[in-house]
Amino acid sequence: MGKNGPVVSPLADLPDARVLRRRTILSLIEAQPKQRFEALKAFIAVPNIEKCEATLRDAVNSMNNAATDLSVR
Protein backbone atom coordinates (compact mmCIF):
# COMPACT_ATOMS: atom_id res chain seq x y z
CA MET A 1 0.00 0.00 0.00
CA GLY A 2 1.40 3.34 -1.04
CA LYS A 3 0.72 6.85 0.28
CA ASN A 4 -2.00 7.39 -2.36
CA GLY A 5 -3.64 3.94 -2.23
CA PRO A 6 -2.84 0.48 -3.54
CA VAL A 7 0.28 -0.03 -5.62
CA VAL A 8 -0.38 -2.04 -8.78
CA SER A 9 2.21 -3.89 -10.80
CA PRO A 10 2.20 -4.36 -13.80
CA LEU A 11 0.28 -1.31 -14.95
CA ALA A 12 -0.99 -2.77 -18.25
CA ASP A 13 -3.81 -5.23 -19.02
CA LEU A 14 -5.42 -5.18 -15.58
CA PRO A 15 -9.12 -5.77 -14.98
CA ASP A 16 -11.18 -2.93 -13.52
CA ALA A 17 -11.56 -3.10 -9.76
CA ARG A 18 -14.82 -1.80 -8.33
CA VAL A 19 -15.94 -1.38 -4.75
CA LEU A 20 -19.45 -2.24 -3.62
CA ARG A 21 -20.26 0.12 -0.80
CA ARG A 22 -23.08 -0.46 1.65
CA ARG A 23 -25.24 2.24 0.04
CA THR A 24 -24.76 0.66 -3.39
CA ILE A 25 -25.62 -2.80 -2.08
CA LEU A 26 -28.78 -1.51 -0.41
CA SER A 27 -29.90 0.30 -3.55
CA LEU A 28 -29.32 -2.89 -5.55
CA ILE A 29 -31.43 -4.89 -3.13
CA GLU A 30 -34.26 -2.37 -3.27
CA ALA A 31 -34.16 -1.88 -7.05
CA GLN A 32 -36.50 -3.49 -9.54
CA PRO A 33 -35.01 -6.48 -11.39
CA LYS A 34 -34.29 -4.57 -14.61
CA GLN A 35 -32.50 -1.73 -12.80
CA ARG A 36 -30.65 -4.25 -10.64
CA PHE A 37 -29.43 -6.11 -13.72
CA GLU A 38 -28.30 -2.88 -15.40
CA ALA A 39 -26.38 -1.80 -12.29
CA LEU A 40 -24.74 -5.21 -11.87
CA LYS A 41 -23.57 -5.37 -15.50
CA ALA A 42 -20.70 -3.04 -14.58
CA PHE A 43 -19.55 -5.45 -11.86
CA ILE A 44 -20.09 -8.71 -13.73
CA ALA A 45 -18.55 -8.26 -17.13
CA VAL A 46 -18.51 -11.44 -19.14
CA PRO A 47 -17.15 -10.83 -22.62
CA ASN A 48 -19.51 -11.67 -25.45
CA ILE A 49 -22.21 -13.06 -23.13
CA GLU A 50 -24.98 -11.33 -25.05
CA LYS A 51 -23.65 -12.75 -28.31
CA CYS A 52 -23.54 -16.24 -26.79
CA GLU A 53 -27.08 -15.87 -25.44
CA ALA A 54 -28.34 -14.78 -28.86
CA THR A 55 -26.62 -17.72 -30.55
CA LEU A 56 -28.16 -20.16 -28.07
CA ARG A 57 -31.59 -18.55 -28.48
CA ASP A 58 -31.31 -18.90 -32.26
CA ALA A 59 -30.30 -22.56 -31.90
CA VAL A 60 -33.29 -23.26 -29.64
CA ASN A 61 -35.64 -21.53 -32.07
CA SER A 62 -34.20 -23.52 -34.99
CA MET A 63 -34.64 -26.80 -33.10
CA ASN A 64 -38.19 -25.89 -32.11
CA ASN A 65 -39.04 -25.01 -35.71
CA ALA A 66 -37.50 -28.26 -36.95
CA ALA A 67 -39.47 -30.26 -34.37
CA THR A 68 -42.68 -28.48 -35.36
CA ASP A 69 -42.02 -29.19 -39.03
CA LEU A 70 -41.44 -32.87 -38.29
CA SER A 71 -44.57 -33.18 -36.19
CA VAL A 72 -46.70 -31.59 -38.93
CA ARG A 73 -45.61 -34.17 -41.51
Rounded CA Rg of the chain? 21
pLDDT band at 65, cuts 50/70/90? very high
Domain extent listing, the chain: 22-72
pLDDT in the model for residue 72: 77
- DSSP readout, 2-65? BTTB---SS-SSPPP-----HHHHHHHHHS-HHHHHHHHHTTS--TTHHHHHHHHHHHHHHHHH
Q: Can you name the residues that pair with 5 across neighbouring β-strands?
A: 2
Q: Answer with the residue of higher pLDDT: 54 or 16.
A: 54
What pTM was estimated for this model as a whole? 0.40
pLDDT in the model for residue 41: 79
